[in-house]
Amino acid sequence: MILVVGGAGYIGSHLVKELVKTKEVVVLDNLSTGFETLIDKKAIFIRGDLGDPNILNKIFSQYKIDAVMHFAANSLVGESVQDPYKYYQNNVSATLTLLNTMLKHDVQNFIFSSTAATYGIPDVDIITEETNTHPINPYGRSKLMIEHILEDFSNAYSLNYIVLRYFNAAGAHSSAQIGESHNPETHLIPIILQHLLGERDAISVFGTDYNTPDGTCIRDYIHVTDLASAHILALQALLTGKINTSVFNLGNGTGYSVKEVIETCEEITGVNANIIHTDRRAGDPARLVASSNKIYQELGWKAELDLQSIIASAWEWHKKQLKK
Ligand SMILES: NC(=O)c1ccc[n+]([C@@H]2O[C@H](COP(=O)([O-])OP(=O)(O)OC[C@H]3O[C@@H](n4cnc5c(N)ncnc54)[C@H](O)[C@@H]3O)[C@@H](O)[C@H]2O)c1
Ligand SMILES: O=c1ccn([C@@H]2O[C@H](COP(=O)(O)OP(=O)(O)O[C@H]3O[C@H](CO)[C@@H](O)[C@H](O)[C@H]3O)[C@@H](O)[C@H]2O)c(=O)[nH]1
């Protein structure tokens, strides 16, 4: 049995949909930003907080959990600058409770959703796992703190773990049954598509004076389905003992500027966008692009789906939401 914490969220629900094909799955989620409707019906759902030791003790006593996959977090860069307490409380303090409780119940395998935001402003064009980590916002710092804690727990308590540093997750399931749902939505691709569907008046481009070719921020967009397949491989590697501890980047290896993403959305949907240029958003680095060579070498994973596939799948999902 696998415990997926945060399995009602965007990325967690895509992983659960794959995982239930081969494993029994329990989802723990407090629905603070997730939706019960996203959870595959084959999974057992428990509504509760990962910082609540009573609920955790119950779960670990009731089910024989082989591994914990931890997606639950607050994860908005801008919000973390405005409200850092929320980030250190939920992403660090509650996660410590989860780790402590699982170890008390002899559960030793842990997969952690980390982020490109741990790198801060990288001094290289293509980020490897060796690139220095100097996060520039509380969100990135909260994730890096857990990475350090995992290293210490592994040394002291023989915890096995894999840290997956995702770059920008986007796209929807090929069935269009589940997709990106955040309320309020702050992520670039869903905002563009909602605008192109007439749900928003315009798109704000946050900053046009970055040191990039067109002045807008560059990100590496990775399909949520590719993220799910990386998790399945990571889980196998932990459960079979192939890997005891590791950190992997998950990205496509290609960077797209905000302007390029808007143009690609226009091309795929055939609708023109109304664009407003505004100030930079606090906490945004200019460029984040991954090398995922390490996980390719060690587990044979690479991203299969490009920006066009990401946007096309997200478009199907968003059109379906509008009809509801
Ligand atoms: N979306 C991205 O581009 C991206 C990129 C890098 C890393 N990540 C990381 O991936 C993970 C998932 O991100 P997402 O976009 O799916 O976010 P999300 O908000 O859709 O999902 C997070 C889920 O965790 C749940 N949750 C939050 N706090 C909880 C708590 N205390 N107890 C129980 N449940 C709780 C929420 O209800 C939600 O269902 C996060 O850890 C995030 O930091 C996301
Ligand atoms: O209305 C908008 C929304 C976003 N952006 C820009 O678009 C880029 C992407 O922004 P967004 O989609 O909000 O993602 P990020 O802030 O890059 O963060 C995502 O990607 C990170 C990894 O790179 C994760 O850690 C975070 O959890 C996840 O939210 C950034 O340059 C934003 O400034 C705009 O210009 N206008």
- Residue to probe by mutation, ligand 2, list 139, 191, 205, 206, most atoms within 8 Å of CB: 206
Question: Does CATH number 3.40.50.720 belong to domain 2-169+222-250?
Answer: yes
Cα atoms in the Cβ-side hemisphere of radius 13 Å centred on 311: 22
Strands 218-219 and 256-257: antiparallel
Q: What is the pLDDT of residue 308?
A: 98
Annotated active-site residue 139? The verdict is yes
With CA atoms as reference, report the closest residue to 12 among 25, 1, 21: 25
ipTM of the complex: 0.98
Confidence of residue 212 (pLDDT cuts 50, 70, 90): very high
Q: What angle do CA 140, 144, 146 make, to 5 degrees?
A: 125
What's the average model confidence in pLDDT over 23-46? 98
Ligand nearest to the CA of 260: 2
Is residue 153 scored above 90 in pLDDT? yes
Q: Does domain 188-219+253-322 have CATH number 3.90.25.10?
A: yes
Average pLDDT, the chain: 97
Question: 49 falls in which pLDDT band (50, 70, 90)?
Answer: very high
125: pLDDT strictly greater than 80: yes
Q: For ligand 1, what atom is nearest to the CA of residue 33? A: 37
CB 9 within 8 A of CB 169: no
pLDDT at 182: 87
Residue 100 and residue 149 in contact, taking contact as beta carbons nearer than 8 Å: no
Backbone φ, ψ for residue 206 (5° rounding): -85, 90
DSSP 19-75: HTTTS-EEEEE--SS--GGGS-TTSEEEE--TT-HHHHHHHHHHS--SEEEE-----
Measured CA to CA, the distance from residue 111 to residue 298 in angstroms comes to 16
Q: Mean per-residue pLDDT for 228-234?
A: 98
pLDDT band at 146 (very low <50, low <70, confident <90, very high): very high
Instruction: Kindly give, in sequence order, each residue whose CB lies less than 8 Å from that of residue 324, ignoring residues fewer than 6 positions away.
Output: none
pLDDT of residue 271: 97
Looking at residue 114, its pLDDT comes to: 98
Q: What share of the chain has pLDDT > 90, as a percent?
A: 96
pLDDT over 80 (residue 324): no
pLDDT for residue 26: 98
CA distance 139 to 122: 16
* Cα(30)–Cα(303) distance, integer angstroms: 30
Cβ-Cβ contacts under 8 Å for 274 (sequence gap 6 or more)? 195, 201, 202, 203
Domain boundaries, the chain: 2-169+222-250, 188-219+253-322
Ligand 1 pocket: which of 26, 32, 163, 289 to mutate (most atoms <8 Å of CB)?
A: 32
- pLDDT of 154-183, one tens digit each? 999 999 999 999 999 999 999 999 999 888
Ligand 2 atom closest to residue 280's alpha carbon, by position in its atom list: 33
Mean pLDDT throughout 245-267? Answer: 98
Residue 315 DSSP SS3: helix
Angle between the N-to-C axes of helices 258-269 and 188-196, in degrees from 0 to 180, rounded to the nearest 10: 40
The single-letter code of the amino acid at 99 is: L
| Residue closest to 48 by CA, chosen among 34, 38, 64, 37 | 34
pLDDT at position 183 is 86
Q: Which of 10, 87, 119, 139 is an active site residue?
A: 139
Mean per-residue pLDDT for 292-310?
Answer: 98
pLDDT of residue 209: 97
Specify the DSSP class assigned to residue 91.
I
